């Protein structure tokens, strides 16, 4: 392991931060903390809010709820704008709430809700929120690096992401892009903070160090992930995810399954699908069968969606051939368990491979 106060680490940190600035399209500081994505969500809350302050949390599912609950635990006066699972946040609702509550100075929005496979229209939301002069914090844990995200063009103040998603690195580092207005707010906001303090993190990063011992091995992986993205090109990476998302959705619907997310807001990094069965046990059996028989790992639903949906993660290292493999395997799994009687083209192709089954691709885990 290298000395994290030495020149090798300084060069690594500088390279990772400049890569993240490029990928997030920002000239802002990108602070790195040894924590999972939730640590980044907590960093945003404790640095920009004060006890008892009213703030708007727009939630589309489990991760939006987590952010609001976290703020609640810190004594924030949380105003929740919650939508039904599968729905996106309507900018008009945000505008209405901001008009009704002039005390709200900060809005928290999930870019891509991993629990429901819904992407918000971030430019439309940012136009409303920034148009009213509010500070805007965005959870892009499962969006950044995969979905179009123009931090500075949208004037986003705090953008949070995590090493384990589109960046193709192991978990353990949260990356938080903070605008000048975000740092200014942190100077006056009074929620207690220590480990996740923006000002201290910036002071260390300005000299290419980190306050605490960094997750050095994860940062090496992140450097490699960024190099892969640079080699392919950022917009090409966005296009590849858009293509994978479209292919998965078309195939899933062609199998007769139903998507949870509303049309127009379907995520290109995670697809949530209504269960092909009406029993949570048989859904579990289906997912276990896919994993143990074919090596395809899909996620179940979280919280109120547990036993009702399954989720396909398609972010990071994923290409067309992975999508074919995922689609064929899902269809074959349905046929195996009698959940789909007609063997379609995809399943027929998969069946022809059953003599020497290949483990299906396993893209980055969904949360």
- Measured CA distances, 197 to 27, 44, 338 (Å): 20, 9, 54
Determine if 108 is a binding residue for ligand PLP (CB under 6 A): no
Residue from the set 19, 34, 37, 245 that interacts with ligand PLP by CB under 6 A: 37
**How many CB atoms lie under 10 A from the CB of residue 258?**
11
Residue from the set 38, 119, 179, 275 that interacts with ligand PLP by CB under 6 A: 38
* Contact stretch for ligand PLP (CB under 6 A) within 96-104, 110-118, 324-332, 342-350: 110-118
Determine if 42 is a binding residue for ligand PLP (CB under 6 A): no
Footprint of ligand PLP on 65-104 (CB under 6 A): none
* Shortest Å distance, C-beta 111 to ligand PLP: 7
* Contact stretch for ligand PLP (CB under 6 A) within 25-33, 92-100, 109-117, 193-201: 109-117
Query: Of 164 and 179, which CB lies nearer to ligand PLP in the complex structure?
Result: 164
Spatial separation of the C-alpha atoms in residues 301 and 309, rounded to whole Å: 5
* CB closest to ligand PLP, residue no: 367
Instruction: Report how many residues bind ligand PLP under the rule CB under 6 A.
Output: 14
Determine if 36 is a binding residue for ligand PLP (CB under 6 A): yes
User: Contact, 202 vs 31, CB < 8 A?
Assistant: yes
Footprint of ligand PLP on 129-158 (CB under 6 A): 139, 141-142
Determine if 110 is a binding residue for ligand PLP (CB under 6 A): yes
Footprint of ligand PLP on 47-66 (CB under 6 A): 63
- Binding letters toward ligand PLP, positions 266-305, x by CB under 6 A: ----------------------------------------
Determine if 163 is a binding residue for ligand PLP (CB under 6 A): no
Residue from the set 59, 114, 179, 205 that interacts with ligand PLP by CB under 6 A: 114
Which chain residues interact with ligand PLP by CB under 6 A? 36-38, 41, 63, 110, 112, 114, 139, 141-142, 162, 171, 367
């Amino acid at each position: 392991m290298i000395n994290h106060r030495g020149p090798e680490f300084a060069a690594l940190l500088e390279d990772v931060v400049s890569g993240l600035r490029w990928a997030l399209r920002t000239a802002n500081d990108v602070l790195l903390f040894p924590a999972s994505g939730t640590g980044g969500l907590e960093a945003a809350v404790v640095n920009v809010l004060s006890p008892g302050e009213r703030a708007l949390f727009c939630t589309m599912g489990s991760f939006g709820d987590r952010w609001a609950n976290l703020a609640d635990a810190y004594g924030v006066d949380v105003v929740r704008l919650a939508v039904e699972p599968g729905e996106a946040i309507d900018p008009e609702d945000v505008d209405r709430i901001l008009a009704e509550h002039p005390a709200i100075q900060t809005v928290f929005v999930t870019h891509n809700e991993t629990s429901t496979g819904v992407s918000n229209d971030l430019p439309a939301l940012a136009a409303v929120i920034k148009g009213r002069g509010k500070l805007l914090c965005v959870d892009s844990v499962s969006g950044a690096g995969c979905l179009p995200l123009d931090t500075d063009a949208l004037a986003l103040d705090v953008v949070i992401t995590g090493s384990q998603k589109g960046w193709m690195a192991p978990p353990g580092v949260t990356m938080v892009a903070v605008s000048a207005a975000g740092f200014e707010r942190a100077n006056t906001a009074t929620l207690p903070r220590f480990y996740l303090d923006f000002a201290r993190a910036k002071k260390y990063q300005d000299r290419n160090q980190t306050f605490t011992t960094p997750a050095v091995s994860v940062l090496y992986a992140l450097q490699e992930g960024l190099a892969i993205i640079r080699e392919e090109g950022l917009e090409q990476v966005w296009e590849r995810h858009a293509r994978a998302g479209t292919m998965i959705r078309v195939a899933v619907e062609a199998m007769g399954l139903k998507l949870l997310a509303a049309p127009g807001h379907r995520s290109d990094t995670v697809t949530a699908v209504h269960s092909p069965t009406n029993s949570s046990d048989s859904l579990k059996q289906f997912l276990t069968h896919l994993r143990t028989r074919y090596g395809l790992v899909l996620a179940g639903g979280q919280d109120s969606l547990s036993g009702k949906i399954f989720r396909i993660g398609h972010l990071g290292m994923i290409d067309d051939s992975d999508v074919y493999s995922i689609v064929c395997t899902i269809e074959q799994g349905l046929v195996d368990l009698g959940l789909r009687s007609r063997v379609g083209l995809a399943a027929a192709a998969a069946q022809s491979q059953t003599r020497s089954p290949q483990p299906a691709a396993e893209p980055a885990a969904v949360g």
